[in-house]
Structure formats: structure tokens, C-alpha cells
């Protein structure tokens, strides 16, 4: 543990018994054990967080590589853009429509300025 041998741990235990006494030694050992456990947990959490950050940076680099490949493929496909058969068909339709005969407008009858109202005579009034 921490690079210490058995004799060094035994020496520390004897000194602890002398200074703390047999009453307080168990509580002190429990407190030290909790501190060591908490320190190990904190170190483990920090280590896993660093590992996660390293993995994230690796994933970002990999994603950027894929993005560059996709951009290159997109640029290559831009040359094939004019091969679309629908675009040539649409162009042919547009040319045909430009030569097609457009319907001629019919003249509108002129509007009458005055309107004439006539009353019908009843047959009985004659």
C-alpha cells in the first residue's frame, strides 16, 4: 500500500497506539479508511473524466475526417450535376413552349354608354 512494507506499517500502528490510545484508535482508523476510500473515488472519477475527454476529442477528430471525405465526394459529384435527364427534358419542354402558338385575344365588345329602358304595355291597356 503506497509503496510501504509490512514493517513500516507496523511502526506507524505502534506510534498511533501510543499517541491516540486504545480508545480512540478504532475511530481514527475508520476515519482514515473513509478518507482513503474517498480519495481513491475522487481520483478514479477524475481519471474517468479525463479518459472521456480524450475519447471525445478522438471522436471529434474522426468526425472531422469523415466530414472532409464527404466534402471531397460532394465536390466530385458537382461535376455530374448536369447529367440529370430531367433537366434536359425540362429544357426541351421550355424550348417547345417558346415556339408554340400563343392564343390570340378576342376583341372585347365596346361598352354602351347609355342604356335604354322600355316599358311593356299591358295587353289590357290597349
Break the chain into its structural domains and give their ranges: 7-98
Of 108 and 52, more confident: 52
| pLDDT value of residue 40 | 93
Residues 76-79: contacts with CB within 8 Å, 24+ apart?
Answer: none
Distance CA 6, CA 8 (A): 6
C-alpha cell at 93: 419542354
Q: Which of 16, 11, 14 is nearest to 29 (CA)?
A: 16
pTM of the predicted model over 0.85: no
| pLDDT value of residue 88 | 63
Mean pLDDT taken over the chain: 77
Distance CA 97, CA 95 (A): 5
Amino acid at each position: 500500500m503506497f509503496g510501504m512494507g509490512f514493517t513500516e506499517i507496523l511502526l506507524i500502528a505502534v506510534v498511533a497506539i501510543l499517541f491516540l490510545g486504545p480508545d480512540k484508535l478504532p475511530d481514527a482508523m475508520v476515519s482514515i479508511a473513509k478518507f482513503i476510500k474517498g480519495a481513491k473515488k475522487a481520483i478514479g472519477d477524475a481519471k474517468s473524466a479525463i479518459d472521456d475527454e480524450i475519447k471525445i476529442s478522438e471522436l471529434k477528430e474522426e468526425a472531422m475526417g469523415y466530414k472532409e471525405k464527404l466534402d471531397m465526394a460532394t465536390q466530385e459529384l458537382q461535376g455530374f450535376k448536369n447529367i440529370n435527364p430531367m433537366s434536359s427534358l425540362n429544357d426541351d419542354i421550355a424550348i417547345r413552349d417558346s415556339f408554340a402558338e400563343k392564343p390570340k385575344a378576342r376583341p372585347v365588345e365596346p361598352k354602351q354608354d347609355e342604356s335604354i329602358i322600355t316599358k311593356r304595355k299591358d295587353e289590357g291597356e290597349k
